[in-house]
Amino acid sequence: MAMVRPLQLAAGVTLWREYFARPVQQEIVETVMRLAQSAPFYRPLMPKTANPFSVEETNFGPLGWLAEPGGYRYAPQHPVTGEPWPAIPDMLIEPWRSVAPFPQPPECCLVNLYRAGAKMGAHQDRDEDELGAPVVSVSLGDDAVFRFGGVTRKGPTQTVKLSSGDVLTFGGPSRLMFHGIARVIAASSDLVHGGGRINLTLRRVTKA
Ligand code: SIN
Ligand code: MN
């Protein structure tokens, strides 16, 4: 993989621009879409309000992250098919090994599909027992405006544009930072068939 020099955006927040070259991005998108035939994208519901997310989601790996009216949780099976999630493809374990780096492998690869108009409100990734491992996030397709702040909702935020092939990690003092996608810039990439953006978020869930 491209050994580009990473950008330090904040303590514990690192961005590798174009970590994946275009042909590899294409291969990842094809793999994701093929796996999504057996683990289809679905629209999660917000806890309490049961409002649907604007993004569609699926997961790979032994544990998938679910949002349901009852709350957030990790589960070994797809909520619609009842089948175990597909394994995390090797090409996505590779960035975890080289940029995380955390001794245990990721257990969850959350797949977010942003079609026209989809975005994601500010939130923390805090449903994992293992907070010593960073979150590793891969962007594919349209550019996105990623906004992040500190570990409380208040305080200053930064925005950074995430483009296709970029890999972002947040860990250490920023593992519980608030973050979200303010908007996706439609048609800024032609990578994803049908348009939009795919985000792949790798996480360690259980303590080793
Ligand atoms: C997420 O925080 O789950 C997604 C972030 C992104 O789409 O880049
Ligand atoms: Mn998140």
Domain count of the chain? 1
**pLDDT string in tens for the chain (208-residue length):** 555 689 999 999 999 999 999 999 999 999 999 999 999 999 999 999 999 999 999 999 999 999 999 999 999 999 999 999 999 999 999 999 999 989 999 999 999 999 999 999 999 999 999 999 999 999 999 999 999 999 999 999 999 999 999 999 999 999 999 999 999 999 999 999 999 999 999 999 999 8
Residue 130 resides in a domain? yes
Ligand closest in space to the Cα of 125: 2
Ligand closest in space to the Cα of 126: 2
Does the Cβ of 140 fall within 6 Å of ligand 1?
no
Q: Which domain holds residue 105?
A: 7-203
Q: What is the pLDDT of residue 1?
A: 54
Q: What is the pLDDT of residue 108?
A: 98
**Which ligand 1 atom sits nearest the alpha carbon of residue 123?**
2
Q: How far is CA 64 from CA 11, 60, 103, in A?
A: 28, 7, 20
Residue 1 resides in a domain? no
pTM for this entry: 0.97
Residue 2 resides in a domain? no
Supply the CATH number for residue 115's domain.
2.60.120.590
Residue 125 resides in a domain? yes
**Which ligand 1 atom sits nearest the alpha carbon of residue 137?**
8
Does the Cβ of 112 fall within 6 Å of ligand 1?
yes
